[in-house]
Chains A and B, each alone.
Chain A
Amino acid sequence: MSSSSPRAGGRKRASRSPASRPPGSSAAGTTRARRQSSAQGRGSSEDGHPGDRGTLTQHQDAFKAAVDWGRALFDHLEKEGTKNTWITSPLHKDGPWLLWLKLPEQIQHRFSLAQEVLLLAVPSNTGVEARDIDLAHREILEAGLRLDSDVLIVVDLRPNLADRLRRLSPWGQWIAWPPGSSGGAVSFPPLLDQIRRYLPDYDIFERRDPVRGHQVIGRRDSIHEIAVRAQKGQSVGVFGLRKVGKTTLVRAMTDTLDPLSASLSLPGRDDQGDPLPGEGEPRLLVTWLDCQSIVKRTRRAFAELVLRKLRERLHHAGLPMKDAADPDPESSLQALLERATGKPDLPPICVVLDEYDFLFESSDPQPAIRGIEQVFAVFRACAQQSGKLSLVVIGRDPEHFRRPRINGVTNPMLNWLTLHWVGPLDRPGADELLETLGRRVGLGVGSATRELAWRWTGGHPLLHRQYGSALLTVARKGKGGNESTPTDPLSEAALDPFLERDAVVDTCREIFDLLSTRYTSSAALLEELARESASQAAEVIQRHGGFAAPGAKMLRNFGLIAGDAGAPILPEVIRWYTRMYLPRTPGA
């Protein structure tokens, strides 16, 4: 059993899109071989992919010829109404094949799956290995998140596939699909059964890092607003509490408008290979920088870093770059920005500074990187002159953009940003999150469950997910069959396991820590609100200066109190945390 590779080198894909090809790369010496037949462009596939059917068919034929059970797999997929839309063939003999599958719509909906999922087919006798899983993961990320970012179907012939996958502990949700034999021929069990069996094993709610792709739920309006502004060359400040979903929100915008920016962030990306279907024409050229990772806190080092990242992105957009060391990185940055924004055929540029607060207050003795304001001055000048540069900063609050002076000089960022506060999800968004992810793991999330979750978390996405995770834990204990479990009878029972979670308590504590360090009037108000009964809330706020006073306003910005002045609402989890764990502040 083997697959043959007609060319040495890297992975081969069913087609490529010449428009997305990095201009700096050439076919010579590429690791991903280019298929002549695919050069005719995109859109010919009936599924909307840029690949052409002829190429796909050839690859399918190659797969069927190379893999003993390849034909049986395709017969089965066809029988179940599942389409193969893309194939990445292996690097070497016996290497794994990656097949994109479009499942029938009713299955997609039933399990909240993305339009397409990835199947990892391992023909080798050794069975699936960790590096195969890594390869599949990379394919998903490089696909511009068009594939379902959490699901991987794995097929190999060796016994105990599920056990082996369990030991490998791949990321996300794996579905073991081991073929059996019937009358001497290879046969496959119904894929639906396997999906139903394995999806609930993985706790899709338990995410603490920013999510992407299909997991971004309930933020459509915000994503749209930021996307519109960025495309217009306006600068935006995205602010809010930690873990409330700021990075998720901006990533969703950049993944949509510049899918390549997602895959560019992958380590060791082979930029000379064939682009995948998700990598369409960018509507924005995104350069992403996490300011927290900066070690050398000098103006020059910061400018160099921005310059390097910007060059990398522009290089992929076809703007040739010289890569020499810059005697003056700021001037180079200015020149590069002017050149890029002056190109009429290039989309606007968007520079994202995540955790921007670290530029101003991080860990070093000085309060801000010396001269940092000059780099911002370059951004602002270019943005105002060209209208094609957008700066998106992500952080806790806009304080550093509001100070009249910085490092002793006039703050060039004053009145520049459009503020966008990210609070908890709204009620429909919160409901959608529970329902969507619940379907994925076989939970039928009912109205009583949604109501209770909303009352306790106030829509905070991480807390809402933690409640979903607790719900799944409770449901698993009483699990009967493979059918969907209605959650309403379990919703109260999930409350204790929810409250026992470190992530829940840590989130509440962080809120109080932040407020008591930076917004003392808000901290005092929140503590008093939490200790008093809900019916006293309006009166408490009045005692603290009213709904529009700074203390209450910051709590509203952070989404910690909702409702109106007459009936303010505080998430129950904040009340619970205060009563159970928060030592009383002296004098409170």
Chain B
Amino acid sequence: MSQNPYNWTLHTPTRPVVRAELLADLSRRLRRRTGCVLLGGRGMGKSVLLQQVGEQIQRDDASVRVVRFEGPPTPPTLSASVKMLGDRLGVAKANRLQLEELFEEYFAQRPGVSSCVLLFDELDQYATPHDRHSLGRQLFNRLEAVRKSTRGRIGILAAGGLGIYVLRDVLGSAFMSRVYYAHPSLFSAAEIEELSEPFAERGTPLSEDVRKAIHLASGGNPALVTYGLERLWERSGRTERDVAAIYARFASEYPDFVQSIRDSIAHPSFSEAPLRVWERIRVGSGEIPRAELLEAAATESGKLRMDLRDILRLLRSAGLISGEGTTDTDDPLRVRATASILNLPAPSERRGGVIDLLREDLISLLSSIHDWSPDFFRPGLKGDAKIIVPECVFTAFLGMGLLMRGWAVEREAVQGAGRTDLKLKRHGGTVVVETKLWDRNDYKEVQGQVEGYWSGAVRAAAVVMISDAGERSFNEEQYRRRCLSRADLKVTEAAAPPPLRGRFVVESTTAQGFAARVEHILLRLPRD
């Protein structure tokens, strides 16, 4: 096996995705000596971007000196920071100088240097909760004064998450007051394709469906995308199911990463308002009254002040939410959680039989799919209408969700002719889940197919029928007529909580003589 080109824990990827537009914009602003902030949650690629910005600036203008700081000095004091700055710039005895003098000295020593760009990573580490004397505020306010003066000739870019707002708090920060905000976006489908090129170079290209499964599981979070590719590189199988299995393990394997994402948006010492807003958006259906979000955003007494705009920007920069339209004037706001393992609802404390657990889990996961429906479409060819992703992608997503909720996959249940979509185990009982797209292929035969999988170990089965068709062609009556018309079936219509379109419980006897009980769950995905 050739060497794995991916390592999701490194900040120096061998195959970095180049966000040319953002890089050019930041390079231009910094060369014009602007103060900038790169706002992003964990894994959003801030460190990589910082590195790339430095390289871009050097390409654009070699007379600019770029200095990068990975984090605060030890001890985290102002004088240590000034000394570190002096050391990096080659200015002796910097700690005896005022900051302005330090730069004067530097530029006097290096007449060929036109300006200096300072890149600060891990800005959150410079911030201390409710401490207006924090290193961050001391250092950046002083740097801002030097930047602002014509004597300065410095551009500043600092990357961080919630800490950025901490720096701004308490009478404001001069630096934060004038900064330009940038944030790395989630990887797009095209960027994931670009990143997966080594697979093609090795002769094992990833199919579009596999890439889509990665996209849906990771939400496009750069670290998570890289994690998936890294694991996939080492597997013999590279199907959507492999993707599901890889991502299903992530939260249990790397709980600290998941926690650090939460820490980058909310912290008990600073504010938990972003967490409340995030939760409200996660359970929303994509349209949320502004008043409800404002209520969730209320500042706790004595905590960090953030307004709703701050919070939405923070959540967006962490890749946790996305939205359409403008958040500045719309009411309700069209904002939703990004399809990702990070946004899948955690299972509540549950008891009950396997059938009840399966139903509950499927309804929860299908609700998420409904909320994230725009992510389950892909653009049509040559400007045609967008098209729904194939069954295998839905199956992979449901499989991943069920695994994350404690279900185990039976190893023999692999995709193929005559094989079930998903065969899962829990509490010693086996269940079967078959996913179909309405009006596609053999969808009418779904009840018979599930019966065909039945064995003595199978305790329950579910059919998930998904469609993007309109109300007239996809409804309970049509479903009964086309899929449940066999005379021997005992069909009972059951309650279908929103957003489900319908639900049936079908009892029958299989050809092998087993008594089968199959839940049919109908879900319509809105195209808009």
Question: Which of these binds chain B: A65-73, A271-279, A437-445, A506-514?
Answer: A506-514
Question: Which of these binds chain B: A40-48, A289-297, A481-489, A548-556?
Answer: A289-297
B138 and A294 within 8 A (CB): no
Contact of B149 among A290, A358, A581 (CB under 8 A): A290
A583 and B145 within 8 A (CB): no
A169 and B31 within 8 A (CB): yes
A496 and B326 within 8 A (CB): yes
Question: Which of these binds chain B: A192-200, A260-268, A386-394?
Answer: A260-268
Interface assignment of B233: CB less than 8 Å from any CB of chain A: no
Contact of B295 among A130, A362, A506, A583 (CB under 8 A): A583
1/0 per residue B84-103: CB within 8 Å of A? Answer: 00000000000001111001
A267 and B153 within 8 A (CB): yes
Interface assignment of B133: CB less than 8 Å from any CB of chain A: yes
B132 and A363 within 8 A (CB): yes
Interface assignment of A253: CB less than 8 Å from any CB of chain B: no
Contacts of A543 in B (CB 8 A): none
1/0 per residue A545-588: CB within 8 Å of B? Answer: 00000000000000000000000000000000000111110100
Question: Which of these binds chain B: A77-85, A448-456, A497-505?
Answer: A497-505
From 192 to 231 in chain B, residues with beta carbon under 8 angstroms from any chain A beta carbon are: none
Identity of the chain A residue whose Cβ is nearest the Cβ of B168 in the assembled complex? A513
Given A134-B114, A267-B153, verify A581-B307 contact (CB < 8 Å): yes
Contacts of A301 in B (CB 8 A): 98
> How far is the CB of B255 from the nearest CB of chain A, in Å?
31
Contact of B111 among A169, A268, A290, A580 (CB under 8 A): A268
Contact of A517 among B141, B148, B151, B171 (CB under 8 A): B171
Contacts of A582 in B (CB 8 A): 294, 307-308
Contact of B107 among A167, A268, A506 (CB under 8 A): A268
A265 and B133 within 8 A (CB): no
Identity of the chain A residue whose Cβ is nearest the Cβ of B114 in the assembled complex? A134
Docked pose: A129 CA to B41 CA in angstroms? 38
1/0 per residue A362-382: CB within 8 Å of B? Answer: 111100000000000000000
A581 and B99 within 8 A (CB): no
A268 and B298 within 8 A (CB): no
Docked pose: A292 CA to B177 CA in angstroms? 14
Interface assignment of B353: CB less than 8 Å from any CB of chain A: no
Interface assignment of B288: CB less than 8 Å from any CB of chain A: no
A583 and B79 within 8 A (CB): no
Identity of the chain B residue whose Cβ is nearest the Cβ of A247 in the assembled complex? B148
Docked pose: A168 CA to B114 CA in angstroms? 13
Contact of B151 among A131, A171, A267, A512 (CB under 8 A): A267
> How far is the CB of A8 from the nearest CB of chain B, in Å?
16
Identity of the chain B residue whose Cβ is nearest the Cβ of A499 in the assembled complex? B328
> How far is the CB of A399 from the nearest CB of chain B, in Å?
12
Interface assignment of A318: CB less than 8 Å from any CB of chain B: no
Contact of B308 among A210, A364, A514, A580 (CB under 8 A): A580
Interface assignment of A330: CB less than 8 Å from any CB of chain B: no
B111 and A168 within 8 A (CB): no
> How far is the CB of A445 from the nearest CB of chain B, in Å?
23
Q: How large is the interface on A (under 10, 10 to 19, 20 to 34, 35 or more residues)?
A: 35 or more
Interface assignment of A322: CB less than 8 Å from any CB of chain B: no
Docked pose: A292 CA to B82 CA in angstroms? 15
Given A295-B98, A509-B310, verify A514-B172 contact (CB < 8 Å): yes
From 144 to 169 in chain B, residues with beta carbon under 8 angstroms from any chain A beta carbon are: 144-146, 148-153, 168-169
Contact of B305 among A290, A355, A513, A580 (CB under 8 A): A513
> How far is the CB of B277 from the nearest CB of chain A, in Å?
10
Given A130-B63, A130-B114, A363-B132, verify A265-B149 contact (CB < 8 Å): yes
Interface assignment of A209: CB less than 8 Å from any CB of chain B: yes
1/0 per residue A279-323: CB within 8 Å of B? Answer: 000000000001111111000010001000000000000000000
Identity of the chain A residue whose Cβ is nearest the Cβ of B297 in the assembled complex? A583
Docked pose: A358 CA to B140 CA in angstroms? 13
Docked pose: A486 CA to B168 CA in angstroms? 39
1/0 per residue B61-80: CB within 8 Å of A? Answer: 10100000000000000110
Docked pose: A293 CA to B177 CA in angstroms? 16
Identity of the chain A residue whose Cβ is nearest the Cβ of B293 in the assembled complex? A583
B298 and A586 within 8 A (CB): yes
1/0 per residue A117-137: CB within 8 Å of B? Answer: 000000000000011001000
Task: Pick the most buried of A243, A265, A290: most chain B CB atoms within 10 A of its CB.
Answer: A290
Contacts of A499 in B (CB 8 A): 328-329
Interface assignment of B178: CB less than 8 Å from any CB of chain A: yes
A305 and B133 within 8 A (CB): no
Given A363-B137, A510-B177, A583-B298, verify A290-B145 contact (CB < 8 Å): yes
Identity of the chain A residue whose Cβ is nearest the Cβ of B146 in the assembled complex? A293
B132 and A265 within 8 A (CB): no
Interface assignment of B301: CB less than 8 Å from any CB of chain A: yes
Docked pose: A171 CA to B32 CA in angstroms? 6
> How far is the CB of A558 from the nearest CB of chain B, in Å?
14
B142 and A294 within 8 A (CB): yes
Docked pose: A513 CA to B171 CA in angstroms? 7
Contacts of A502 in B (CB 8 A): 180-181
Contacts of B307 in A (CB 8 A): 505, 509, 512, 581-583
Contacts of A296 in B (CB 8 A): 98
The number of residues on chain B lying at the interface, defined by a beta carbon within 8 Å of a beta carbon of chain A, is 62
A295 and B78 within 8 A (CB): yes
Contact of A496 among B82, B103, B107, B329 (CB under 8 A): B329
A293 and B61 within 8 A (CB): no
Contacts of B142 in A (CB 8 A): 292-295
Contacts of B169 in A (CB 8 A): 513
Interface assignment of A516: CB less than 8 Å from any CB of chain B: yes
Docked pose: A266 CA to B99 CA in angstroms? 15
Contacts of B137 in A (CB 8 A): 363
Identity of the chain A residue whose Cβ is nearest the Cβ of B107 in the assembled complex? A267
> How far is the CB of A388 from the nearest CB of chain B, in Å?
26
Contact of A363 among B82, B138, B328 (CB under 8 A): B138
> How far is the CB of A519 from the nearest CB of chain B, in Å?
12
Contacts of A134 in B (CB 8 A): 63, 114
> How far is the CB of A471 from the nearest CB of chain B, in Å?
17
B145 and A364 within 8 A (CB): no
Given A134-B114, A301-B98, verify A583-B141 contact (CB < 8 Å): no
Docked pose: A210 CA to B145 CA in angstroms? 12
Contacts of B27 in A (CB 8 A): 169
B329 and A141 within 8 A (CB): no
B150 and A295 within 8 A (CB): no
Identity of the chain B residue whose Cβ is nearest the Cβ of A293 in the assembled complex? B145
Task: Pick the most buried of B100, B132, B153: most chain A CB atoms within 10 A of its CB.
Answer: B100
A516 and B151 within 8 A (CB): no
B181 and A266 within 8 A (CB): no
> How far is the CB of A585 from the nearest CB of chain B, in Å?
8
Contacts of B99 in A (CB 8 A): 293, 295
Docked pose: A586 CA to B295 CA in angstroms? 10
Docked pose: A75 CA to B217 CA in angstroms? 67
Interface assignment of B7: CB less than 8 Å from any CB of chain A: no
A580 and B298 within 8 A (CB): no
Contact of B174 among A141, A267, A292, A305 (CB under 8 A): A292
> How far is the CB of A373 from the nearest CB of chain B, in Å?
21
Contacts of B298 in A (CB 8 A): 583-584, 586
Docked pose: A429 CA to B32 CA in angstroms? 28
Contacts of A209 in B (CB 8 A): 148, 178
Interface assignment of A214: CB less than 8 Å from any CB of chain B: no
Please name 30 pairs of A and B residues whose Cβ atoms are closer than 8 Å in the assembled complex, sorted by A: A130-B61, A130-B63, A130-B114, A141-B150, A169-B27, A169-B28, A169-B60, A242-B177, A243-B177, A267-B103, A267-B151, A290-B149, A291-B145, A292-B145, A292-B174, A293-B98, A293-B99, A295-B97, A295-B98, A363-B132, A363-B133, A363-B138, A496-B329, A499-B329, A502-B180, A509-B307, A509-B309, A514-B172, A580-B308, A583-B307
**Supplied contacts A510-B177, A581-B307, A583-B273, 8 more A-B pairs, CB within 8 Å:** A262-B150, A290-B148, A290-B149, A293-B98, A502-B180, A509-B310, A586-B298, A586-B301
The 6 A-B pairs with the shortest beta carbon distances in the complex, nearest first, are A293-B145, A292-B145, A363-B138, A169-B28, A583-B298, A581-B307
